[in-house]
Structure 1
Amino acid sequence: MKKIWLFCIALFMVTTPFYNATFFEQNVSHKSFLGIGDDVDPLVDLSIDVVIKRVRTIDIDINQPPSIVVKVIVNEENWQSETFQGFDIMNLGTAHFDIPDDEEKVIVTIDVMKNGVQADVSSNGNSLQIIYDVLTGAWNGDDWLGDESGYGHAGGHEDGVVNESDCEIWFDIVQNDYDGDGLTYWEEVNVYGTDPTKSDLGKDYDNDGVPIEWEDKWGYDPFKAENHSKLDPDKDGLQNVEEWQMQEWFADPFRQDIYIENDYMEEHNGIKPMMPEESLQLQYSAFTKHNIMLLVDNGLMGGSEEIPYEELDWDKLNEIYNDYFLHNDENNPRKGIFHYAIIIHDFKDFGRGVAGFNFKRDAFAVCSAYIQKWRPWENAMKIAHGGAYMHELGHQLGLPHLRVFPWQLLYWLSWNYKSCMNYRYTFKIVDYSDGSHGFMDRNEWDNLDLSRFER
């Protein structure tokens, strides 16, 4: 009898294939409805929209913006965006998919094609794979709430290897619901006790300054008051109320964000102050690699104005700040959210030419005519504008500079301190240093104070 049992066991092992579930298959449970029945939402036929908000290349090749295409796959259905050209593309389209009414999880795969080749937008391979929870409207997988690079954001730099294939992407996944308030049927019935047929959009039931849908998305209890006017979990100087106000512009309460408004002085003597796109994109990439989002308002967010030309002094700088940034309103909501940058011609009160300077804790100037004079070649000029701008922003974030010149011994000793905060490299490098280069180097990335501009 024992031999018969052993024979049966051996036969079973030989004839039964071994199955190794993938990570996603292990984490996707179909028809696991936690007691809610066979229909996740009995009020609607379910669908999701995958909104591609923004894609940018992390590797910036001056004067050579790449082509970008986004592909989304859900349940073997495919969507593809049109082809875009640029370093930084906004609003690439929305992929719409009908999904089963009786399944709790949906796998969403997002690919980015850069110049016809698959780009890297994930910490795990090239594709971004998301497990979307139909019950709660949240997701995990290659992106999750509270991850270092932000929720609804992912990039190829997250694998620790930065190369020319890396891009980053901002996206959202929106599920349809009967009352259109962004809360799923399951949440309304089983978690919040709200009416799934009546919209709660914009309601602030706990009177803590932010609406229910924002608290739901970011993991807060919308029925328990918290001091969102003071809470700043990522220590970027933006309190949660301000993060909510900036939600249209990718603000994340758990990932540091920096916003700057640029205003430009008008052309004079044939010279137009500028901040070239590549100069900004090089800075965006430098910050992205450290999981900080920098975004400059060059008109994108409703700011940015042209300032009439005049010779400047300190009093006139203060007037410009009040007239063009605050608009003569000390309670202007931009103050405390945005830094302010003026791109001017030059400034003579130092007794010598300068590439830029800070004039308030939240405001600085970049002297574009001076930079154009000393870096007239296009590529060098774009790098110099980026380095000078990032240098002045560094002061806003609490970094000191190293003021050295070629006739000084310290200039030659500071070879290892490769940062735009080092005068030796301000026109050559668009980055801060991480302290890894040896003698005289500084670890600046670990010592940024993003909330300094508020104090």
Structure 2
Amino acid sequence: MNTRGVLVGLFLLGLLTSGVVATTNVVDIDGDATPIVAELEQGTDPFAADTDGDGLDDGEEVDEYGTDPLVADTDGDGLADGVEVTTHGTNPLVADTDRDGLTDGAEIDEYGTAPTDSDSDDDGLRDGAEVDEYGTDPLAADTDGDGLDDGEEVDEYGTDPLAVDTDDDGLTDEAEIDEYGTDPTVADTDDDGLEDGAEVERGTDPQRRDTDGDGLWDGMEVHASDRLPDADPLRYDVYVEVDEMSGQSLGWLEAGRVTNEFADAPIENPDGSTGVDLHFVRSDDTIPHASSTSFDDDLPSIKSTYFDNEGYGYHYLLIADSIDSDQGGYGTVVLGQARPGTMLVADDSRSDATGSTVMHELGHSLGLTNRDFGGVDSQTYSFAEYPSVMNYNAPLDHYGFSDGSNGPLDHDDWATIERDWYTPGTYLLE
């Protein structure tokens, strides 16, 4: 027995022989509610109420908390048992009371988080995950200040909780989700060639490839200025390549009248304006003269040879000497023929005949047909009833489409064109 044990034994013997106590089982020298004999058995100091100096009496540790009275920090979490019980309310037997992945001591001394709350900032992520996995601030619900809680970014949207603009498109993650409805993880949500931020700045729709509905993607209209000069993603644009046979032409004045009719079209644009921008782009090629050209037999080979803007969203127009009258079955001189995207027009010496025919065939090229209205390509209705260049009763110097406002027999050509708008292939712009 060591010296301290001998002294304790002599002390107890003195108490018994003097009659102070009848048994040593009740003797508690240090007042820690643990008899001397029990203290000797468990190794605690019978003369010190708190053997390990952790702030809890030996009796409390053994009988109430189940902690080790010989170890100041029973669970090894960096906090003394007494501090856990009396100050922080943590469990002195569990190193990570709230099971958030951080020890109680680390939460108190290093991170400032609450050791009894697994998600101190209430952002949907455990404190330990924020520290060890995501690098976010466990005390700030929105670490990057983008308007989205860290948990939302990780679990719901897949955005970076450390970056205000995850996809680097010029819009904050929160603005993309709550204001614009765009994808905060994809810079170009609608894949039109313009990033979402650029679209918002320009006024185009970042969720729609073709904001103005003219068949040309917004990015094409902005970036392909060499092929689409003066294109505007907020206004309808129509591009027509004009090829002319040697000795034939579409006069500038007549072309200008066609352009003006489109500019005055009652079609509303996303920028609040009305009208359509028609662009005639004249080819530098001179096509060898032919006295008669067939739409079905001759035009395909001419187009494949001379069409410079194939695949760029252009309609094709060939001005020829005359058109094979067998094509179309009219039994009269044919001034023009068209299918969506392709037009053949005869150069007529009569004033405005060529220009008004181009206007007529352009209506067909954009998708307007007799199936839409029986007055198209017929003499069924008088010009007064259906005042349209699509009416065979229209005078040669009339260029306009009808807007449907001229009585019960009239037809709204412009509304039909807008509804069925046809744009040739743009595969070389994509």
TM-score between both structures, scaled by the size of structure 1: 0.43
Structure with higher helix content: 2
TM-score between both structures, scaled by the size of structure 2: 0.45
- Structure with greater Cα Rg: 2
RCO greater where, 1 or 2, for CA within 8 Å and sep 6 or more? 1
